[in-house]
């Protein structure tokens, strides 16, 4: 099997599982977006994924994404990039210029930096607030008890178009309760986008209302 056919088969299999999980949850088969997590992937795998028609990609680092995608943007006008990793405030301007969405808004200093960059560039990416549902000290994100106030401040004080929420559950806990918590916070704040679920748990996330799932190794295969 060639790399191109391997990548295409992996994507088809994931899309079939996504559609099945959505339908089982009483939702339309195409209601969940597949974000291909392309961080650290080599060029041949990126190009093979693009050849399947995949246009939505997630990256963890601004500088790495700039190197990977700036030249490809000219060839793929419908390309959509999401920043799914932590963002330093001093990289906000570069992130606003490159990404169609930033999924890791989690503090006032960053909100101010994004608002300033958006005004300068005349555009603002879609924004998701990252919620640290497990309250893990090593992880970025607003803790659940502070999420409502932060969402309100991002909208009121900085004029930011917060569209939804993102979370990464603790690896050693059942993800369902974290997905349920994120959905509850989103509902009471009138937010419709939920980025939750990865290669190992996206079907559970879809059951709890995910509108976007982030899949890396299950799509691209293991490097090496």
Alpha-carbon dihedral angle through residues 209, 213, 218, 221, given to the nearest 10 degrees: 180
Domain that holds residue 215: 3-220
**Nearest-angstrom CA–CA distance, 196 and 210:** 6
Asked if 121 and 96 touch (Cβ cutoff 8 Å), the reply is yes
Q: pLDDT tens across 46-73, in order?
A: 999 999 999 999 999 999 999 999 999 9
Convert the pLDDT of each residue in 182-192 to its tens digit.
999 999 999 99
Mean pLDDT of all residues in 205-216: 98
Number of domains in the chain: 1
SS3 17: helix
pTM recorded for the entire structure:
0.96
pLDDT band, very low/low/confident/very high, at 221 (cuts 50, 70, 90):
confident
**Angstrom distance (rounded) from CA 1 to CA 38:** 21
- Residue 133, domain CATH: 3.20.20.10
């Amino acid at each position: 099997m060639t790399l191109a056919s391997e990548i295409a088969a992996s994507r088809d299999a994931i899309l079939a599982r996504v559609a099945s999980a959505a339908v089982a949850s009483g939702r339309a088969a195409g209601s969940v977006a597949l974000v291909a997590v392309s961080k650290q992937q080599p060029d041949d795998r990126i190009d093979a994924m693009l050849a399947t028609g995949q246009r939505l990609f997630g990256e963890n680092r601004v500088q790495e994404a700039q190197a990977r995608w700036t030249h490809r943007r000219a060839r793929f006008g419908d390309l959509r990039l999401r920043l799914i990793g932590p963002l330093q405030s001093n990289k906000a301007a570069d992130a606003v210029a490159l990404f169609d969405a930033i999924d890791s808004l989690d503090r006032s200093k960053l909100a101010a930096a994004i608002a300033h960059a958006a005004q300068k560039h005349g555009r603002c990416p879609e924004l998701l607030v990252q919620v640290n549902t497990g309250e893990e000290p090593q992880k970025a994100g607003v803790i659940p008890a502070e999420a409502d106030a932060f969402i309100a401040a991002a909208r009121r004080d900085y004029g930011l178009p917060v569209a939804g929420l993102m979370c990464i559950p603790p690896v050693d806990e059942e993800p369902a309760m974290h997905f349920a918590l994120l959905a509850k916070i989103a509902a009471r704040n009138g937010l419709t986008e939920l980025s939750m679920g990865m290669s190992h748990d996206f079907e559970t996330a879809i059951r709890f209302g995910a509108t976007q799932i982030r899949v890396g190794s299950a799509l691209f295969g293991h490097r090496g």
